[in-house]
Amino acid sequence: MFRLRRYRYYVFFAAIVVFLIYRATKDSEHWETVSASIPHAKAPPKSAPERGFGITNKQSSGKSDTRFLGEDDDLAQQLLEKAEKEPEKVKIPDLKSTTTEDTGDKFEVPTPITTTDSTDQTKVLVYDKDAAAKTTTAPLIDIPDKNVGQGAKGAGKGIHGAPGAHNTKTQTATTTIHWHKVPEHFPVAEDKIIPLPTGKPKPIPAVQYEFARESTEAREKRLDRLAKVKAEMVRGWDGYMTYAKGHDELRPVTKTFRDPFCGWAATLVDALDTLWIMGMKKEFNEAMLEVEKIDFTTSEFRSEIPVFETTIRYLGGLVAAYDVSGGKAGGYDILLEKAVELAEILMGVFDTPNRMPVLYYNWKPPIASLPKRAQAGVSVAELGSLAMEFTRLAQITKENKYYDAVARITDAFYDWQERGTTIPGIFPEHVDATGCNRTAEAEIAAKKAALEEEQNQIELERSDSKTFKGTKPLSADEIDSQSESTKDDLHTLNRRSAAGTPNDDGAEKTKILHNGEEVHAPSGGAASAINERDPDTFESEAQSGFLDSQKEKQKDKCVAQGLAPGSWSSSEQYSMGGSQDSTYEYFPKQWLLLGGLEPKYKTLHTKVAAAVKKWLLFRPMVPGDPDILFSAKINTQGNPETDAVVDWEVTHLTCFIGGMFGMGGKIFETPEDVEIGKRLTDGCVWAYENTPSGIMPEGATVVPCAEVNNCHWNETLYWEWLDPLFESRNEQVAEFEKQQKERKTQKAQQAKMKGHKNLGVASGESGSSEGRIDNSRPVDFDEELGSSSQEVAASGLDTVGIHKRAPPTPIGPSPNSNSNSGRVSEKSTQAPDLEDGPVISTNSDSTIASVTDDGQVPLSEADDESEFPDPSSPMSHKQYVENKILSENLPPGFVSANYHAYILRPEAIESVWYMYRITGDTTWQDKGWKMFNAIVSQTRTEAGNSAIDNVLMTNSGKTDEMESFWLAETLKYFYLLYSDPNLISLDEWVLNTEAHPFKRPI
């Protein structure tokens, strides 16, 4: 019985334990739900429209035979398995709806890009927003720390709540710092926000050529090239995911990584739309898992965000991937959520007095919360190349604040162009974006200082007539007792004598000026006032007043102005190249993106094109006389008509301009500009085809033609450009040859004189040992001539300094010498046989002379400079040019190629692609194929492709860098060059400077 009761107690306690475990399990479900991983739901099924991808209204579905090769591998199970292994994540609440039912917005939500064999698009990641809304009840959301850039390590969000909401975070045990939204110092009132243009987009002329159906042979050739381009993409992507997943860039030679862009997986984000466009859906879905883990609110690599690069690569990459994958209908909501997360952080850069952005943004809250102002020396490209990304985000989210941020920059450029720049229409490379006229501030400060000086003078004169009247002079001892800083004032005071003026209480007081301050003394006089004060205290108080005055002067007294030149020198630089390029590129593209509803962009582009044609375009003088163009760089002190210094440069970054002129010519109906675009693009193709590697250098120079329509190759002129000092060089050579001739004449006369002297000795004392030449040592001409200097002087020969002025002349070997060194050996010198005739041989360090029977002294073979040139001789013009070409490995036509690297840049193939799509001329495909083969052959590595350091060599060394734009731009442009022309049609899409396609409004 006792045992049974004991069991009852056991059962009772067991029941309690089970109940507690059950309750604990139920209580934990709430937290598990809050931090659950992203559920994997099927996206709405996609159709494969009969018209193909991006086909225009002008084209029928029957025109296109090319479609993507889709990937039907089922990822659902793989994604679920990976999700179970990942740390639990926080839901991101709904963004503002992107539907257009009640907004009146005319921008159509983009439809997904589809292919004939990729209709199954259920394997995507979506957020279960309803479940997140029900379970997220805690007022503070804990964001776990992440090891940024470590791929699968860690998970979490960087932004929570609706766009623009204040984001609250709690830190974990680590010291990771996260960005959070801070109050703005210079907010824009709600009614002052510039809204997106509204209304139906204007009719815009077609950009893309209407391609006809291609032949079977042409199609096979194109598809073969297409496959090879994709193979490069596959290898590069696999190398990145294997060795650098989660990091910014792959080092393809050493198979490591680097993180120049905050460690937010730049290559992965940059390449998202390329993966989709190339039909690499499996890789795209794998990348989605990594995108979800990026935390833009923190970085362990940089304390400053490079705003320009971050905007075009990350923000542009996310928005474009959202567009090409179908937008809202595509089901990849994470892309838009991450874009908004990043945009909210970047919006802090516009919080300045004039709303011009800070372009290197310290995101850490203690610094981000401080007032800031834009910089005075920013580049045009960094300032003006944010427009497309923020505009497209505003269109998708219906948030005007994103458009307002960049519209103010556009307005500033428009205002500056209207006010006028040194070269009307275009802008100097460096811009003062502070909004403060420093010159005006200096002028105002100078006027203020002059006014203060005038006031001080008036006060001093007033004190002369009133203050110091009747003051008793001080003795010398009394003055000496004061501090040094007051002695001058007291000596001045002694020279004045005046009665004191009554103060407010009837007593007299005296004014003393000390370091600009007034000191009031009682009726006892100035001396008693000074003597009663401690000198150190007196000086301290005066100095304190002075500092307060200076602080007041140093307060920010900004004289408002618009954009202005920002160079630290008086020189301004204008070009279409680096630090300037993409701002000009964005003017016509923004016009397209806004449906032609904002006319400022057309005005901006039209004036830029006119300025470039007038000031920068030139035809180079190169072999074969090709009809090509390049864009130069101008440096001016403010009057380019007279002081312009032109660099006739050929730079890879400027190669985008062919596509810009081509597109601008089409949409603004300027056929001349399309032709200019062709010739500019052909210029970059020429630069590729005429180097040993087949790749264009980063930067070079050429000879400009005097006339664009009358230009022929002139090698003499080309050599003169290679050697700008050719005139003075020829003069130096002529002078040197003249001097050498004089030296030879003197040397011959000297040798002849010595021969006569030695012959006389030999014939007079033939039996004496003194009568023979001592051949036991080389003969020293200085020693021999020194003993008979009077005889030499009497003969009229000037021998002074012969061996000092003329360097030793290299000589050939003596016929009797066994030496291979070119000099006569001391041991090999034999005594002459006088019975054979009066021949004297002398051996010195520099000369061999012989005297023939008739007494003449011929030049030795060593004096023949054609065989042994003098090393001190200046180079002739011909020698200099030949040496320059050889040492620098310059191809014909290039004057210099000092920047001879290639870092996998896309600008040249970008313009080739535009020209093909605009003109329909398939020769552009052939030109591009030569470029592709050259690039791949020189840059390929096992894990990807690497930048090289010298395109003027074949098999140049690799620099172990693979920029993110290799996958994002260069390979994308090559792929699109050989794809179905309807893929990313220029009549439906517009690409940012990083080749990210944004959907055009319809």
Interval 368-389 mean pLDDT? 96
The answer for residues whose C-beta is within 8 angstroms of residue 924's C-beta and 6 or more apart is 681, 912, 913, 915, 916, 977
Handedness of CA 311, 316, 318, 319 (dihedral sign): positive
Q: Which of 255-269, 357-371, 518-532, 588-602 has the lowest mean pLDDT?
A: 518-532
Closest CA to 998 of 319, 33, 71, 280: 319
pLDDT of residue 924: 98
Confidence class of residue 269 from pLDDT cuts 50, 70 and 90? very high
- Give the tens place of pLDDT for each residue, 705-746: 999 999 999 999 999 999 999 888 888 888 887 888 878 888
**703 has a pLDDT exceeding 70:** yes
Between 691 and 438, the more confident residue is 691
Cβ neighbours of residue 382 closer than 8 Å, sequence gap 6 or more: 307, 308, 359, 579
**Residue 841 above 70 pLDDT?**
no
Q: Which residues of 39-50 are buried (b: 16+ CB within 10 A; e: fewer)?
A: ebeebeebebee
- The mean pLDDT of 361-389, rounded to a whole number, is 96
Strand-pair category, 572-574 with 617-618: unpaired
Query: Is 0.85 surpassed by the pTM of this model?
Result: no
pLDDT at 480: 56
Strand (E) or helix (H) holding 137: none
Backbone angles phi, psi at 945, to 5 degrees: -135, 145
Mean pLDDT of 897-919: 98
Q: Quickly state the pLDDT bin for 782 (edges 50, 70, 90).
A: very low
**Nearest Cα residue to 971 out of 119, 240, 258, 124:** 240
How is residue 206 written in tokens?
């077609």
pLDDT digits (tens, 9 = 90+) for 961-975: 999 999 999 999 999
Backbone angles phi, psi at 704, to 5 degrees: -80, 150
* 919-925: average pLDDT: 98
Q: Are strands 169-170 and 141-142 parallel, antiparallel or unpaired?
A: parallel
Which is more confidently placed, 389 or 515?
389
What residues contact residue 703 under an 8 Å CB cut-off, 6+ apart?
Answer: 620, 621, 622, 648, 717, 718, 721, 893, 895
Reply yes or no on whether the pLDDT at 355 is more than 70. Answer: yes
pLDDT at 419 over 80: yes
Q: How far apart are CA 812 and CA 474, in angstroms?
A: 96
Choice among 67-81, 212-226, 473-487 with the minimum mean pLDDT: 67-81
Kindly report the CA angle at 224 between 220 and 227, in degrees rounded to 5? 135
- Boundaries of every domain in the chain: 439-554
**496 has pLDDT over 50:** no
How confident is the model at residue 897, as a pLDDT? 96
Determine phi and psi for 653, rounding to 5 degrees. Answer: -60, -30
Using 50, 70 and 90 to split pLDDT, how confident is the model at 623? very high
pLDDT tens string 303-313: 999 999 999 99
Q: Name all contacts of 480-487 with Cβ < 8 Å and 24+ positions apart.
A: 481/531, 482/530, 482/531, 482/535, 483/535, 483/536, 483/538, 483/539, 485/514, 485/515, 485/535, 485/538, 485/539, 485/542, 486/514, 486/530, 486/535, 486/538
Lowest mean per-residue pLDDT among 191-205, 470-484, 986-1000: 470-484
For residue 570, what is the DSSP state?
A: S
pLDDT band of residue 854 (cuts 50, 70, 90) is very low
| pLDDT at 870 (0 to 100) | 59
CA nearest neighbour of 404 among 331, 351, 447? 351
Quickly state the pLDDT bin for 562 (edges 50, 70, 90): very high
Q: Following DSSP, what letter does each residue of 594-616 receive, concatenated?
A: TTT--THHHHHHHHHHHHIIIII
Between CA 965 and CA 904 the distance in angstroms is 8
Q: What is the pLDDT of residue 258?
A: 97
Nearest to 556 by CA among 371, 410, 696, 316: 371
Q: If DSSP codes are grouped into helix, strand and coil, which group holds residue 701? A: strand
Q: What's at 58, amino acid-wise?
A: K
Alpha helix locations (H) across 463-518?
476-480, 484-494
**Which amino acid belongs to residue 897?**
A
Give, in order, the Cα–Cα distances in Å from 852 to each of 350, 756, 814, 824, 844: 94, 11, 17, 20, 19
Residues 6+ apart with CB under 8 A from 452: none
Mean pLDDT of all residues belonging to the chain: 74
Q: Note the pLDDT of residue 751.
A: 77
Distance CA 262, CA 13 (A): 56
Higher pLDDT, 716 or 41: 716
State mean pLDDT over 287-301.
97
Backbone angles phi, psi at 620, to 5 degrees: -85, 150
Instruction: Give the tokens for residue 468.
Output: 């110091």
Instruction: Tell me if 584 sits within 8 A of 576, measured CB to CB.
Output: yes
pLDDT computed for residue 452 by the predictor: 76
- What is the reported pLDDT for 622? 98
What is the CA angle 344-348-349, rounded to 5? Answer: 120
Share of the chain above pLDDT 70, in %: 61
The answer to whether residue 374 scores a pLDDT higher than 70 is: yes
Match 């020429």 to its residue by tokens: 686
Work out the pLDDT band at 415, boundaries 50, 70, 90.
Answer: very high
Q: Which residue has the higher pLDDT, 548 or 814?
A: 548
Q: What is the pLDDT of residues 126-166, one digit of tens each?
A: 434 344 333 333 333 232 333 333 333 233 333 333 333 33
Residue bearing the bigger pLDDT, 868 or 462: 462
What is the percent of the chain where pLDDT is above 90? 55
Farthest CA pair distance, the chain? 158
Q: Write down the pLDDT at residue 207.
A: 98
- Listed in sequence order, the residues at least 6 apart from 957 whose beta carbon sits closer than 8 Å to its beta carbon are 948, 949, 950
Query: Would you state the pLDDT for residue 360?
Result: 97
